[in-house]
Amino acid sequence: MTAGSTVPTLPVSLLRDGLAREAARFSLRRVAREAGMSPNGLRHVLQGAIPRSITRIKLERWLAAQGKVTRPPNLGQFVRLLNELSVDLTPEQTLELGRALAELLVQSYEVRRLSPPRWVQDLLRHYRTRGGKSASEVA
């Protein structure tokens, strides 16, 4: 989410999960205080209440600020997530999607004149066709 965003972008279930993790890591009161809301309000959100749009934005911004990555993503995480997201696709379509996403990531880094990190390079190698085979033969 961008700093100037005024529209909630996360599904409430993902927002709730992230907030619950942070509340378990610190405390409900601390998360509520840092996010700028009451502990009872946060408790209600965690218990299933749908927050108002302005509250969702506030919570999303706070949660995004907590996003300290302790380790970089890796190939296994990406492949597992892609397989979960593409459960309704054929193996060939999943492979094609993985290849396209890997190439898009490489291009995005190159546009910014950055070298793609190792996990992106691993991803690209993983989804390249092997031995001249077509995508359908690899899957």
Instruction: Indicate whether 132 belongs to any domain.
Output: yes
Average confidence score pLDDT of the chain: 83
pLDDT over 80 at 12, yes or no: yes
Percent of the chain clearing pLDDT 70 (strictly above): 83
Confidence label for 10 from pLDDT (cuts 50, 70 and 90): confident
> What confidence tier does 5 reach under pLDDT thresholds 50, 70, 90?
low
By three-state DSSP, how is residue 48 classified? Answer: coil
61 plus 80 within the same structural domain: no
For residue 112, being part of any structural domain is answered with: yes
Contact status, residue 19 vs residue 59, Cβ threshold 8 Å: yes
Chain segment 35-86, per-residue pLDDT in tens: 999 999 999 999 999 999 999 999 989 988 887 655 667 788 788 888 888 9
State the Cα–Cα distance between residues 79 and 74, nearest whole angstrom. 9
Give the model's pLDDT for residue 71. 62
Shared-domain flag, residues 92 and 131: yes
Whether the per-residue pLDDT at 136 is higher than 60: the answer is no
- Asked whether residue 97 carries a pLDDT value surpassing 90, the answer given is yes
Angle between helices 75-85 and 91-111 (to 10 degrees): 130
Q: pLDDT value at position 1?
A: 45
Tell me if 114 sits within 8 A of 89, measured CB to CB: no
Whether pLDDT at 120 is above 80: yes
Looking at the structure of the chain, the number of domains it has is 2
Residue 58 domain boundaries: 12-65
Burial grade of 54 (CB within 10 A; 0-12, 13-18, 19 or more): exposed
Confirm if 19 and 56 have CB atoms less than 8 A apart: no
| Shared-domain flag, residues 89 and 134 | yes
Q: Are residues 30 and 79 in the same domain?
A: no
Task: Say whether both 59 and 109 belong to one domain.
Answer: no
